[in-house]
Amino acid sequence: MATSAQLCREITAGRWDEALRALYGAQQLQRQRARYCAALEQFELYFGPGRQVQVYSAPGRAELGGNHTDHQHGYGLAAAVTLDLVAVAARNEDGYVRVKSRGFNKLDVIDLTVSGPQAGESTHSASLIRGIAEGFRAAGKTVGGFDAYTASDVLRGSGLSSSAAFEMGMAAVWNGEYGCGLAPAQLAKICQYAENTYFGKPSGLLDQLTSAVGGVIFADFADPQAPVIEKIHADGLLPPGMFLCVTDTQGSHSELTGEFAAIRQEMEQVAAALGRQVLGQVKEADFWAALPRLRQRCGDRAVLRAIHYFEENARALAQRDALRAKRFAAFAQLVLESGRASFALCQNVYCSTDVRHQGLSVALALSQSILQGSGGAWRMQGGGFAGTIQAYVPQERLARYRSEIERVFGPGSCYVLCLREHGAVRVI
């Protein structure tokens, strides 16, 4: 190991170029050198010079398929992307974890001798750190303190799972600094436990697992406590010159909790009418046979959202098969079908009570106007109503696409991404 100042000199001199190129690609090399050096300098500013440090990375993720299917025990498809969280960390001996994150004024300080969820902590990152520590202990591992500075490119609210990247970054630090030797899937389950139990968010496992493992992850959530996971290697999945763009439409989720919740509630209302808890337990033939009764009992929107589940679940499986076979044209067609289903069936592209703010719809319409006939594709991703869309953009239309998107939604709103093969790792 080396000090933060020594590592910065080594990075500037190109010693770590191979490691950085493997994560971010050659075109990002200069930017990542500067970014890593800035993080090392900030670590020294907050925690003092001369510390022996290591640097960890945990990627964000993009939803590729399976919109509102996971909570019904269906299929999910997601990919690790090149936007990530970087953590500069140094082990300490005082039993405290101290984490300073770029963009946040507060220094998280966690006393590891204090266990269990703490009052007033549940909505803060400190609760996640405490929960991850408890997860390591439950796995029979001894963990101690560390000091860390984190810098994340996975912006909050971007639909790219900034929380999972943070959790996996912290787990990777403990796994590396204390030689715990836990496998990526084990780390993902620890992070999910922390988010569920300490942070109070009933998330599934796909986000954490994608960040932990990297590549493309296909998950079968028939048993949500033990989902069946398949990794598809990212190399060669996108044709040469095809880019994944994610656009932040600058809409706020703050008033949309009820809209999100209604999707799950209505799907489960249909399942309950058929004697099941979730749609993943319902035979599709039984659903169609009961359609007249379901319309009367549950209402048409609930019925349409159930149809979305069955169609989208089948699409996610077909998307996996297309990626396995490296048939991008077939995959892209399924992406377009998913996007249309979000409009017509799931009805989560816009909120009908706020007709002045339909940013996702505008972004999708703009994407269609630019990418129609190009071999690309576009769809909404995430919970919906506001937030982000994704588009697969060929290189010859990339400059125009990005320029037009940012003209409408503001500078920096369009992220040009690549798929990332590596999950959470120690980089240096």
The answer as to whether 114 is a domain residue is yes
Query: Do 268 and 359 sit in the same domain of this protein?
Result: yes
Identity of residue 231 = K
| CATH number where 306 lies | 3.30.70.890
298 and 222 within one domain:
no
> 63 and 31 in contact (C-beta within 8 Å)?
no
164 and 207, same structural domain? yes
Distances (CA, A) of 296 to 273, 290, 308, 370: 11, 10, 18, 42
- Residues 226 and 331 grouped into a single domain: no
Helix (H) / strand (E) element for 293: namely helix 291-298
* Enclosing H/E stretch for 146: strand 146-152
For residue 169, what are the domain limits? 2-232+421-426
Is 382 inside any structural domain? Answer: yes
Could you count the other beta carbons within 10 Å of the beta carbon of residue 388?
A: 26
Report yes or no on 94 lying in a domain: yes
Q: Is residue 237 part of a domain?
A: no
Q: Is 386 domain-assigned?
A: yes
Which pLDDT score is estimated for 331? 98
DSSP reduced 3-state for 237:
coil
Same domain for 316 and 212?
no
Return d(Cα 236, Cα 225) in angstroms, integer: 32
288 lies in the same domain as 409 = yes
Q: Is 122 in the same domain as 205?
A: yes
**Tally of CA atoms within 13 A in the half-sphere of 281 that contains its CB:** 15
Q: Is 390 helix (H, G, I), strand (E, B) or coil?
A: strand
For residues 136 and 12, membership in a common domain is answered with: yes
- 73/223 Cα distance (integer angstroms): 7
Same domain, 201 and 268: no
pLDDT at position 253, please? 61
pLDDT attached to residue 203:
74
User: Domain for residue 322, yes or no?
Assistant: yes
Rounded distance between C-alpha atoms, residue 41 and residue 424, angstroms: 22
- How many CA atoms are closer than 13 Å to the CA of 345, on its beta-carbon side? 19
SS3 107: strand
Q: Is 239 helix (H, G, I), strand (E, B) or coil?
A: coil
CATH of the domain at 182: 3.30.230.10
This prediction has a pTM of 0.89
> What is the identity of the amino acid at 9?
R
Residues 116, 265: one domain?
no
Residue 165 lies in a domain: yes
pLDDT score, position 124: 83
Closest CA to 248 of 161, 157, 163, 165: 157
Is the domain of 278 the same as that of 169?
no
Closest to 364 (Cα-Cα) out of 347, 345, 381, 382: 381
Query: How many folded domains does the chain comprise?
Result: 2
Residues 148 and 297 in one domain: no
pLDDT along the chain (428 residues), means of 10: 96 97 94 98 97 97 94 96 96 96 93 87 87 97 96 79 93 97 95 90 84 96 90 92 93 74 95 98 98 98 98 98 96 98 96 90 98 97 89 97 98 92 97
